[in-house]
Amino acid sequence: MDQWTETTTADWHRRAEQQAFDGRAFVDGHRHQTVNKKTLTSINPATGAALVEIAAAEAVDVDHAVAVAKAAFMDRRWTGQSAEARKSVLLRLADLVEAHRDELALLDSLEMGKPITEALSVDVPGTAGTFRWYAEAIDKQADEIPSTAPGSTALVTREPLGVVAAITPWNYPLEIAAWKIAPALAMGNSVVHKPAPQASLSVLRLAELAIEAGLPDGVLNVLPGEAVVGEALGRHPDVDVLSFTGSTAVAKRLLEYSGQSNMKRLSLEAGGKTANVVFADTDDLKHAAEMAAAGAFYNLGQVCSANCRLLVERSIHDEFIGLLCEASQAYAPGDPLDPNSRTGALVSDAHASKVRQAIEQGRADGRLLHGGGQPKIDGASDAFLEPTVIGNLPSEHALLHEEIFGPLLTVEVFDSEAEAVQLANRTVYGLAASLWTGSLARAHRVSAELVAGTVSVNTVDALGVTTPFGGFKQSGFGRDLSLHALETYSALKTTWIQFG
C-alpha cells in the first residue's frame, strides 16, 4: 500500500526504479502464465526502455478464462449475493484504488507516457469514483409491476447477462476499464477483460485489488494480448455481451464476429473527429481559446473525443488563432514524471511516427500556424511531439476527415451558422462536438442540429459519471457511464403469474 505521495521529479524517478512489475495474466483469482508462455515487451515510451514482459494470451487462454467466468456466474458466487454485499465489495475496491493511488498512477505513466500529475489527479480518482458510484447504484435499482388484467401479476426484473467481455484502449488504461468493469460487476455479471498490450499493468493490479476487496475468484479476469484475444472473445459462444472502446475499423470486425457466432450483445464506442465551433458572439475569446487548446492537446490529443477540428467564424479568425497559439504553448511536452508537465510522451515511437507523418502532410498541403516540432526530452525517445495547429487545408483533405489521435489541430473558417453546422457534421463520426456562443438561442439551435452523442456548450469534452457517453454514426452505439450503462450488461425479464 502507498505510504506517501511523491512531490518532485527525482522522487518519482526513484519510485519508478523501485517499482515491481508483474505482467502475467490474471484468471480465477490469481496470476499465472499463459498456456504457451508467449509475451510482449512493455516499453516506456518516454525513455524507450523495457519495463517488463507482458503475457500475450491466445485463443486457448480465452477459452479457459471464459470457462472460469461462466462457472463463476452459473454457481452464483457473485450474482447470488445480496445487493448490499455486492455494494460493499465495490466500495472496498474503490477505497483500495485510492489507497494505491501512487502505484496505479505510476504504472499508467510509465507504460503510456501520461503525465504523473494527470494520472494522480484525474485517472485514478476517476477510477475510484466510478466504482464507488456504481456500487451506490446497486441497491437503488427497482423492478417493476406493470398493470395487468385482474387475476394476474407481472414482474419485470433486470437480469445480468452472464459473461461480459470488455476490450479497452491504452489512452486511459485504468479509467476506461472501470467504465466497463464497474457497471458489469454492479449488475452481477462475470468479466473477462482485455486491456491494450501497450498499457496492461494497472488493470492487472486492479484485478488483484478486487480480490483483496472481497470479489470472488473467477468473477474478474484480465487477459493481456494482441488482436487475437479480441477476436477470440468476439467469436466465443459463451461470451454474452462485449463492450469495446477503440477504433471504428475494429468495431466493425466485432460486429462480424458477433453475427458469425452467438449474436452476443455489443456496446461499441469507436472513433471520433470532434468539431469545436467558435462563433463571433462568444463572450470570452481568450477563455474559449484556452479551452480549445485543452480540448485538442490534453493527453497529447490521444482522446477519442478530442476537439481536433476547430471551426472559427471568419470575423474573429485572426484574433482567435493568435490566442489559441499562445494557449497551446502550455501543452509543450515534458518528462511524464515531472509533476509540472502537462503533457508527456505519445504511447509509442511507432504511433508518434504516424502522427509526425500527418503533421508533415498538413505542413505541405496547408499552413503551419503553431508547433510541428519533435523535441528531445531525454535524448532517447522519439515519442515527444509539440502541439501543432494547421490551417488552409482543402475541404476534402484527409486530415480534416481521418482520426489522427495525436496533438494535431486543424482550423477551418465559416461565415454563417448554417455553414458551421454543415462543416461540423461533415464527418462519418458522431461522438462529440463543442460550440461557443453568447446567445442562448443559438446554443439550443446549433446543439439540436449537431449530430453527436455529447454536445458541449461553452466548454469542451464535457463528461461525468452521471451522464451517458457514446456516439452516433460510425462512432458506434451503446453508452458508457450513467445509469444507462447498466442496460448494456443486463436484460429485462417478464415473469407473468396467473392466479385468477
Whether 312 and 409 have beta carbons less than 8 Å apart is answered as no
CATH number of this structure's domain 275-465, picked from the four choices 3.20.19.10, 2.70.150.10, 3.40.50.300, 3.40.309.10: 3.40.309.10
Pull the grid cell for residue 401.
Answer: 476527415
Q: What is the pLDDT of residue 5?
A: 58
The catalytic position among 175, 208, 304, 412 is 304
| pLDDT tens per residue, range 466-497 | 999 999 999 999 999 999 999 999 999 999 99
At 378, is the pLDDT very low, low, confident or very high (cuts 50, 70, 90)?
Answer: confident
Locus of grid cell 500475450: 56
Q: H or E stretch including 323?
A: helix 317-328
At 87, is the pLDDT very low, low, confident or very high (cuts 50, 70, 90)?
Answer: very high
Q: Report whether CATH 3.30.460.90 matches the domain 9-270+476-494.
A: no
What does the domain layout of the chain look like in residue ranges? 9-270+476-494, 275-465
Whether 165 and 240 have beta carbons less than 8 Å apart is answered as no
Q: What is the pLDDT of residue 7?
A: 81
Pull the grid cell for residue 126.
Answer: 476517476
| pLDDT tens per residue, range 321-346 | 999 999 999 999 999 999 999 999 99
Active site residue 304: yes
Q: What is the pLDDT of residue 377?
A: 87
Active site residue 6: no
Average pLDDT on 417-425 reads 98
What's this model's pTM, rounded to 2 decimal places? Answer: 0.97
Residue type at 109? S
| pLDDT tens per residue, range 185-213 | 999 999 999 999 999 999 999 999 999 99
Average pLDDT on 52-78 reads 98
3-state secondary structure of 126: helix
Q: What is the pLDDT of residue 379?
A: 67
Average pLDDT on 87-96 reads 98
Q: What is the pLDDT of residue 2?
A: 54
| pLDDT tens per residue, range 281-303 | 999 999 999 999 999 999 999 99
Average pLDDT on 214-218 reads 98
Q: H or E stretch including 433?
A: strand 432-436
C-alpha count within 13 angstroms, C-beta hemisphere, residue 218 = 17
Q: What is the pLDDT of residue 488?
A: 97
3-state secondary structure of 220: strand
| Calpha distance 406→388 (Å, rounded) | 9
Average pLDDT on 234-255 reads 98
| Calpha distance 498→500 (Å, rounded) | 6
Q: Of the candidates 274, 392, 387, 381, which has an alpha carbon nearest to the alpha carbon of residue 333?
A: 387
The catalytic position among 58, 103, 269, 412 is 269
Give Dmax (Cα) for the chain.
82
448: alpha, beta or left? (left if phi > 0; alpha if psi -120 to 50): alpha
| Calpha distance 305→461 (Å, rounded) | 7
pLDDT at 1 over 60: no
Degrees to nearest 5, angle at CA 74 with 71 and 76: 110
Strands (E), 250-289: 265-269, 275-278
Provide the percentage of residues in the chain whose pLDDT is more than 70: 99
3-state secondary structure of 154: strand
Query: What's the burial of 383, exposed, middle or buried (CB within 10 Å: 0-12/13-18/19+)?
Result: buried
